Amino acid sequence: MRSSLGLALACAGLSLAGCGGSAIAPPAGPQTTTFPIATGASDTTAAFEVLRYYPSSIVINAGDTLSWTIASGSPHIIALVPSGQNAPAPPANIKPAGGTSYDGTAFTSSGLIDQGATYSLRFPTPGTYTVLCLVHQPEMRETVTVQPAGAARPLIPAQITAVAAVDSAADVNAARAVPASFPFAPGGTHLALGLAPQTSPPSVLSIYRFLDGPSLDAAITVPVGTTVTWSNVSNVPHNVVFPVAGQPIPATFNDFGPALGSSVYDGTALTSSGLVTPGQSYSLTFDHAGVFVYSCSLHDTQGMQSSVTVI
């Protein structure tokens, strides 16, 4: 990802100058400041996701506050894990932990929070801290360097915001090109269950869709008896859930539960892959004609839904 620091700083400078001299926080001094952190990014359809903090490293002063806002369709868990400790394993990690400040001694987490939600932490103690997202590892990391109070800060909050806007827009644009890297025969029965440009080293770009070619549309039509395979070629877990034909996925469905149903689907029984992690595949054979709508239950609110028409 190209850094647009210079451009954004120039923009920030222009916009600040254009404010008619309204007061801005000075870069140095004993005052404490709150810095906004855009957390993740996505387009309005939430198909194109970026797993990244903006910025991914920041220098603040002791007593300053970081305020993360979820800026993507995908939820995140903003967490700091003291050295020598472990974060709770899923699903316990979706709960918030700790207080309103972090000094490196106690596990502290926002819990799982959705688009638009904000989480703030004060950093009273100089040091270097790593912010993780417990959902998106190893992609999402942010380094926080806390200087002694009164030190000169390299960037003011308005500059952080300006850089984030430019960089996140560039990243979402980069994600729009990812479907072109669809790795299977287009229009076939081997579909992508999410797509990332590469997983090693991990990309921060991720497509939250089913794909059967280099576009976002994965609706396919196949003859009775066809086996369809979905491979997770992305960097986040997904699932493939066929409810009873014509019905929604039940409200009681466990997104993280085991596989359900058999390897053959006829529309009469809820059938699920269970969690399909990056690199794993799932296959299902269709032995009855019909139009069968399916979803990723983790990301159906982001539009991760498609259909198999069996004729």
Interacting residues with Cu ion (CB under 5 A): 238, 296, 298-299, 304
Shortest Å distance, C-beta 15 to Cu ion: 37
Non-local CB neighbours of 260 within 8 Å, separated by 6+ positions: 270, 271, 272, 274
Shortest Å distance, C-beta 135 to Cu ion: 11
CA distance 170 to 183: 24
Shortest Å distance, C-beta 208 to Cu ion: 6
CA distance 161 to 155: 10
State CA 197 to chain mean position distance: 15
Q: Which is nearer to Cu ion, 205 or 304 (CB)?
A: 304
Q: Which is nearer to Cu ion, 35 or 182 (CB)?
A: 182
Q: Which is nearer to Cu ion, 161 or 234 (CB)?
A: 234
Q: Which is nearer to Cu ion, 123 or 208 (CB)?
A: 208
Shortest Å distance, C-beta 297 to Cu ion: 8
Q: Is residue 55 reached through a cis peptide bond, with omega within 30 degrees of 0 on the bond before it?
A: yes
Shortest Å distance, C-beta 93 to Cu ion: 18
Instruction: Please calculate the CA angle 147-148-153 and round it to the nearest 5 degrees.
Output: 50
What is the identity of the amino acid at 8?
Answer: A
- E-assigned strand segments in 123-179: 127-133, 141-147
CA distance 59 to 61: 7
Token code pair at residue 109: 């987490």
